[in-house]
Every structure is written in C-alpha cells, then in structure tokens.
Amino acid sequence: MSSKRIVTCTVNGREESFLCKPQQTLLEVLRDELDLTGTKEGCSNGNCGACTVLMDGKPVVSCLVLAVECEGVELETIEGVADHGHLAPVQQAFLENAALQCGICTPGFIMSTKALLRENPNPSEQEIRFYLAGNLCRCTGYDKIIRAVQDTADHKIA
C-alpha cells in the first residue's frame, strides 16, 4: 500500500494542505477532501470538461491530474469565482442568457471562459467555440453559452 502524502498548494487564493494517496485525482481531492463540490465529475476520462479547474492559470481537467502533482501550484475552482456572495460578471451573463439547464457542465464552462477571456479579451465566435471545444453541454446546444461568453467579453470583465 502506498502511503499518504502531504500536498500544499494555493486554492482560490488560500494556502491549503491536504493528505492524499498517489492514486487520488485532483478532482477527488477537491470534492472529497476539501469539500469543494462545485467542480463536477462528468466522464472521468478527460472528454467532457465538466471538472475543469485552472492550474497556474491554465484550464486542466482535474480528473486527469493526480493530486500529488499539485505541490506548490495555484488552483482556481468555481468556488473562487463569485465575489463575497455576489455573482461575477461571467456568472451573471450565463444566468441572463439561460446558458445552462441541468448545470453539471456549467462550472467547467465558467472556468474555461475565465481563462479564455484572460488570454483573449475580445474573442471572435469561432475563437470562443474553438477554446470551449473541450467542454461538452448536452442541454443548451451551445449557442446560449457562446452568447453568454460574448456578453461577458463585451463588459470587458470575467
């Protein structure tokens, strides 16, 4: 049996230390050890993007990251998006555009959108669709999501 490791990293701006086994994914640790259940498990094999979080500012699927790889990194999850209980503009835009139905994919889409708009504050529709290709949604048909991202970009803040 492998022994547990202590991993220290920053989660949503706060330093966190947790114990984990080498085979625990970041997704499992976020949900089961840190109680950050906003990050959702979809396919568990890297296809759907539901579990997207930002690792050192870059979107990754947390089901394909081992928690032990996170020593010293900076993580951002959906829990860090709202500002003291007030929806961030990207969240407000998803709400106003009805860019969700069942909501399982939404945290992943919002994290990818945040990264997209940091890299490219004025993306074209094609750039949005290309960047969000790793996030799947079976409810909206995507158009409402694209409009929500465009609205967020128009307001120039994620």
Partner 1 sequence: MRDFEFEAPATLDAAVALLAEHNGTARPLAGGTDLIDHIRTERLTPDVVIDIKKIPELNILEHSADGLRLGAAVSCSRIATDETIRQQYSALADSASIIGGIQIQNRASMGGNLCNAGPAADSTPSLIALGANCVIAGPNGRREVPVESFCVTKGQTVLERGELLVEFKFPARPSGSGSHYRRFIPRNEMDIAVVGVGASVTLDGDTISDARVSLGAVAITPLLAHEVNDALIGKPATDETYKASGEVARSIINPITDMRGTREFRIHVTGVLVERVLREAVARAKS
Among 9, 18, 25, 145, binds partner 1 (CB under 8 A): 25
Of residues 87-146, those binding partner 1 (CB under 8 A): 112, 115, 129-135
Among 29, 30, 36, 68, binds partner 1 (CB under 8 A): 68
Q: Is residue 61 within the footprint of partner 1 (CB under 8 A)?
A: yes
- Minimum Å gap between C-beta 152 and partner 1 is 17
Q: What ranges in the chain are assigned the alpha helix state H?
A: 26-28, 89-96, 106-119, 125-131, 143-154
For residue 62, CA distances in Å to 7, 21, 80, 86 come to 15, 15, 16, 26
Q: Which of 83, 108, 87, 96 minimizes the C-alpha distance to 147?
A: 96
**In whole angstroms, how large is the CA radius of gyration of the chain?**
16
Stretch that binds partner 1, among 29-37, 65-73, 74-82, 83-91 (CB under 8 A): 65-73
> How many other CB atoms sit within 10 Å of the CB of residue 157?
11
Q: Is residue 75 within the footprint of partner 1 (CB under 8 A)?
A: no
Positions touching partner 1 (CB under 8 A) are 1-2, 5, 21-25, 44-47, 49, 52, 55, 58-61, 63-66, 68-69, 112, 115, 129-135
